[in-house]
Amino acid sequence: MKQNTDMTQYAIDARGLRKVYKGNRKSPAKEALKGIDLQIPRGSIFGLLGPNGAGKSTFINILAGLVRKTEGEVTVWGFDIDRHARQARAVLGIVPQEINTDAFFTPIEALEIQAGLFGVPKQQRRSMEILTALGLADKADAYVRQLSGGMKRRLLVAKAMVHSPPILILDEPTAGVDIELRKQLWEYVLELNSTGVTIVLTTHYLEEAQELCDEIAIVHEGEVVACEPTEKLVASLDQKTLMVTPMEAITIAPDLAPFEVELKPDGRLAIPYKPSKAQVAQILERLSAKGIVVRDLSTVESDLEDVFLELTYRKAS
């Protein structure tokens, strides 16, 4: 089956995607996706972020063929998910948020069965290679029920990779995983990406997304409220914080209107400001007028968490 060559520069291309869940007597109909447009470049690590209930899982489930869309067009690696559903699913490896493993198989058996379901010939299977890459080689013949939560999550990643898909979707892959295992998992993911595998990541660890993702889309109430390269997205928030250490300790935050001031437990003053509307010199003038001598100062840049809060929770309030 040939790909749709019109938009093959995108690993995933969704246009006008809507999903409406029908209501009943107890609950009204819900529009989970409100005509979103989302283009995920091939070879990228793409972050899909949003609060709980924003529509991320619905989007992933539509790609996986678990949920039927209401309207719109979606292609995966050039395959239309309606006309070429089998091919579209075959190019995806999906790691679900929920840990769902068969307790009575060993990891090596689980991977061999998964490879068989995808029609991978025995001579082409890489089950042991994948387990080794994910630090599970010594557990290959142990029962899955004997694995820790972190190991089970890595096993889900391994199962998603048995057919060497060009797209790997990771839905909260490091939830409940300790720091060491998280680092090991991401080393493997980065290695996969370096070979050309497109990674789509949902996570609540915003620092993780900021460090790993080339591009980030933020979904809120079924709509894409931002989609830009990570650096550009973070830079788009017109917000910085001036951290001031007074020469002499103070016990009450001074009134520097129109600037808000927060007195930190360590005695420093945190003063948010918008670089497009104010300069540090204006803040320093107000401090001087209050008789506060500055011993040290520094500027804290915005990060992805600030952007996320600005585009979701603060807009909703």
CA distance 126 to 301: 45
Residue 275 is assigned to a structural domain of this protein: yes
Closest CA to 53 of 202, 214, 272: 202
Q: Which helix (H) or strand (E) holds 61?
A: helix 56-64
Residue 108 is assigned to a structural domain of this protein: no
Residue 61 is assigned to a structural domain of this protein: no
Pairing of strands 223-229, 269-273: unpaired
Helix 149-160 crosses helix 107-117 at what angle (to 10 degrees)?
Answer: 30
159 phi and psi, to 5 degrees?
-65, -35
Q: Which domain holds residue 290?
A: 238-301
Helix 179-194 crosses helix 149-160 at what angle (to 10 degrees)?
Answer: 10
Using alpha carbons, list the distances in angstroms from residue 220 to 58, 65, 162, 223, 237.
Answer: 13, 22, 33, 5, 17
Cβ–Cβ < 8 Å for 175, 97: yes
In 179-293, which ranges are continuous DSSP H helix?
A: 179-194, 206-212, 230-235, 280-289
SS3 109: helix
The amino acid that residue 97 corresponds to is Q
Residue 257 is assigned to a structural domain of this protein: yes
Q: What is the pLDDT along the chain (317 residues), one digit of tens a residue?
A: 444 444 468 999 999 999 999 888 788 889 999 999 999 999 999 999 998 889 999 999 999 999 999 999 999 999 999 999 999 999 999 998 888 778 889 999 999 999 999 999 999 999 999 999 888 999 999 988 888 888 888 899 999 999 999 999 999 887 767 788 788 888 888 999 999 999 999 988 888 898 899 999 999 999 999 999 998 888 877 788 999 999 998 999 999 999 999 999 999 999 988 887 888 999 999 999 999 999 999 988 777 888 888 888 755 55
**pTM: predicted TM-score of the whole model, two decimal places:** 0.80
Burial (CB count within 10 angstroms: exposed 0-12, middle 13-18, buried 19+), residue 48: buried
Residue 117 is assigned to a structural domain of this protein: no
Q: What is the pLDDT of residue 4?
A: 45
Q: What is the CATH number for 248?
A: 3.30.70
What's the total number of domains in the chain? 1
Closest CA to 252 of 300, 286, 292, 299: 292
Composition of the chain by helix, strand, coil, percent to 5: 35, 30, 40
> Which residues 6+ apart lie within 8 Å of 166 measured at CB?
11, 42, 77, 91, 196, 197, 198
With tokens 């927060």, the residue in question is: 262
Residue 290 is assigned to a structural domain of this protein: yes
Q: What is the pLDDT of residue 5?
A: 43
Q: What is the pLDDT of residue 314?
A: 59
Residue 58 is assigned to a structural domain of this protein: no
Residue 217 is assigned to a structural domain of this protein: no
The order of strands in the sheet holding 269-273 is 262-263, 269-273, 240-246, 294-301
